[in-house]
């Protein structure tokens, strides 16, 4: 029998009849209850599933702000935080952050520490009849100034660096319209401190049970 730490869970096997990118379905307590194709899971009655958000901050304290491609089926054209995504079955959230940063933004996170800051964030949002319903832990990563970007036009319409304080203040006063999830995240992040570099790192044991998969790194 495999010895499994109580902090982490082993992934369930993926059914052989499912193909394409898969998302992990979770119950209200954040435990995995199955998988489903990402292409078919989003609609008017989207089941709760596992996701993540990440805030990429450079050494000068600027946030990488992205605008979702207008061709995306969910929340097209919406300005939001640096990147979001879904871990695959058995994939750790830090590994998923690195994978998505590379595929979506052409951003190589390399050895930059990926810090968990809001382990239990979750939300439900709707746009044009399409619902997002996610258990969505939030991460922050600090990168060097001038790090190369190569956004995928199918995913990202634009990307720019904005001082974190400007983004924070304009989101909170309503002068910058961003995704509803980033608005809610910012409200919680400000409680962690003014400087993202000082935000305390949460323990992996605070993650939803479905997210407690060890990184391959």
Question: What is the three-class DSSP state of 180?
Answer: helix
Q: Pick the catalytic residue: 84, 98, 104, 136? A: 84
Q: Catalytic residue at 104?
A: no
Q: What is the pTM of this model?
A: 0.89
Backbone angles phi, psi at 120, to 5 degrees: -115, 15
Q: Pick the catalytic residue: 98, 132, 134, 136? A: 134
Q: What per-residue confidence (pLDDT) applies to 18?
A: 44
Q: Catalytic residue at 84?
A: yes
Mean pLDDT within 165-183: 97
Q: How confident is the model at residue 45 (pLDDT cuts 50, 70, 90)?
A: confident
Mean pLDDT within 96-102: 97
- Only one residue has tokens 């989101």, namely 171
Q: What per-residue confidence (pLDDT) applies to 38?
A: 87
Q: How confident is the model at residue 113 (pLDDT cuts 50, 70, 90)?
A: very high
Q: Mind spelling out the 3-state secondary structure of 111-153?
A: CCCEEEEECCCEEEEEECCEEEEEECCEEEEEECCCCCCCCCC
Mean of pLDDT over the chain: 89
């Amino acid at each position: 029998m495999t010895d499994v730490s109580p902090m982490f869970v082993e992934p369930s096997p993926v059914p052989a009849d499912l193909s394409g990118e898969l998302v992990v379905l979770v119950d209200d307590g954040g435990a995995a209850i199955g998988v489903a194709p990402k292409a078919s899971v989003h609609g008017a009655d989207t089941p709760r599933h596992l996701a993540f958000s990440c805030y990429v901050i450079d050494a000068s304290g600027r946030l990488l702000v992205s605008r979702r491609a207008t061709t995306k089926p969910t929340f097209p054209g919406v300005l939001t935080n640096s990147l979001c995504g879904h871990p695959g079955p058995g994939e750790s959230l830090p590994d998923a952050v690195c994978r998505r940063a590379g595929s979506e933004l052409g951003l190589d996170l390399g050895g930059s520490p990926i810090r968990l800051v809001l382990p239990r964030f979750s939300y439900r949002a709707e746009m044009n009849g399409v619902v997002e319903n996610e258990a969505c832990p939030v991460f922050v990563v600090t990168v060097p100034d001038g790090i190369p970007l190569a956004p995928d036009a199918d995913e990202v319409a634009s990307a720019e660096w904005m001082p974190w304080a400007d983004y924070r203040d304009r989101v909170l006063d309503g002068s910058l319209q961003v995704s509803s999830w980033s608005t809610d995240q910012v409200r919680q992040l400000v409680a962690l401190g003014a400087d993202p570099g000082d935000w305390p790192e949460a323990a992996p044991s605070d993650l939803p049970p479905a997210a407690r998969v060890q990184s391959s790194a």
